[in-house]
Amino acid sequence: MIARRNFLRQLGLSATGLLVGSRSWAIAPTTAPRPLRIGVISDLHHMQFGKNEVPRMTAFMDAVLKSSPDFIIQCGDFITQLKQTEGILEQWNRFSGPKYHVLGNHDMDFCDKKTMMQLLGMEQRYYSFDRGGYHFVVMDRNFLKRDDGTLADYASSNWGPLPAPQRSFSDAAQLAWLRDDLAAAKHPVIVFMHQPVFLSDYYDELGNADEILAIFDETNLRAREAGRNNEVTAVFMGHDHDDRHAERNGVHYFIINSASYLYSGKALYYADPLFAFITLHPAGRLTIEGKASTYRDPVPDKIRARYPVKISNYAVGIPKITHR
């Protein structure tokens, strides 16, 4: 991943300058009577490399129960094996409020989507819902592109051997649904997905991100022309195990850090779990409260110098950009 950081510098982006605390950004206002609070965690990678992440999940859920958000969501790569999942799901289910899942690529390391969805209690692999004056969209980016150009579901690590440009696609049916769903939305839109469509180090693994970004752009253009309040206003993504924010065509894009580790040739685990709470204020502010940690074990100097502290969910020092 270190070599890929050069791509960000070429774009004028930066993943440095991480800040402990709370930050906020202007988003579309709503008529909701009160702020909406969301607990979010991503890339837990339970049992990846044989690591049991129940303690990290427990810490998140302890914070959730103390904070009492309106809902919680995990942004993919939640459970990498079907064995020894009881502790994770038991912790997840401690919260009695609404809970939502996003499928990540490693969730299908040892099974197909249907099996993972059944385990997580997901009725649909992509879906939307309204809450607190906002319209929320959850996407599935877990399709591979075969040599003949057709798409196939991720299943049992079938995506792993493929070159990066053949990974991280969303299917045509989903894109058609997305276009219609956004057009029919009655409120400002917040999107959650696993693999990024923007800001990613994995610039050669964006799949059909351009199609998705075009749908966001078209939706927002039509909303502005019609004077409607259903613009896409923020997109939250995982997968990269890093903290980033930038603005593209009026939309805020965030990459959410892994709860567990940074990957650079090997997994460099954080001493503490990373997660965050997002607050959507009716007047038009999005606030993110992140969580800091250090590395659990010694790490190379070049990594510690660039990432001295890991903060969940946001970065500073990234300029506004208006196109990919």
Confidence tier at 212 by pLDDT (50, 70, 90): very high
Q: Residue 74: which region, alpha, beta or left (left: phi > 0; alpha: psi -120 to 50)?
A: beta
How far apart are the two ends of the chain, measured CA to CA in Å? Answer: 20
pLDDT of residue 13: 36
Report the predicted TM-score, pTM, of the whole model to 2 decimal places.
0.90
- Spatial contact of 302 and 2, defined as CB atoms under 8 Å apart: yes
pLDDT at 88 over 70: yes
What DSSP string runs through 68-133? --SEEEE-S--BS-SSS-HHHHHHHTT--S-EEE---GGGGSSSBHHHHHHHHT-S-SSEEEEETT
State yes or no: pLDDT of 322 exceeds 80.
no
Tell me what pLDDT residue 22 has.
62
Between 50-54, 154-158, 287-291, 309-313, the lowest mean confidence (pLDDT) is in: 309-313
**Predicted confidence band of residue 111 (pLDDT cuts 50, 70, 90):** very high
Domains detected in the chain:
5-272+290-310 (3.60.21.10)
Q: Percent of the chain having pLDDT more than 90?
A: 71
Percent of the chain at pLDDT above 70? 88
pLDDT surpassing 60 at residue 221: yes
Q: Across the strands, what pairs with 155?
A: 112
- pLDDT-based confidence at residue 309 (cuts at 50, 70, 90): low
In the chain, what are the helix, strand and coil shares in percent, each to the nearest 5?
25, 25, 50
The token pair that represents 312 in the structure block: 């969940």
Note the pLDDT tens digit of each residue in 92-110: 999 999 999 999 999 999 9
Looking at residue 203, its pLDDT comes to 84
Write out the H or E segment, with its range, that includes residue 304.
helix 301-306
Among 14-23, 46-55, 61-70, 195-204, the least confident range: 14-23
The more confident residue out of 197 and 25 is: 197
Q: What is the pLDDT of residue 323?
A: 30
pLDDT of residue 207: 97
> Where is average pLDDT lowest: 75-84, 168-177, 269-278, 280-289?
75-84
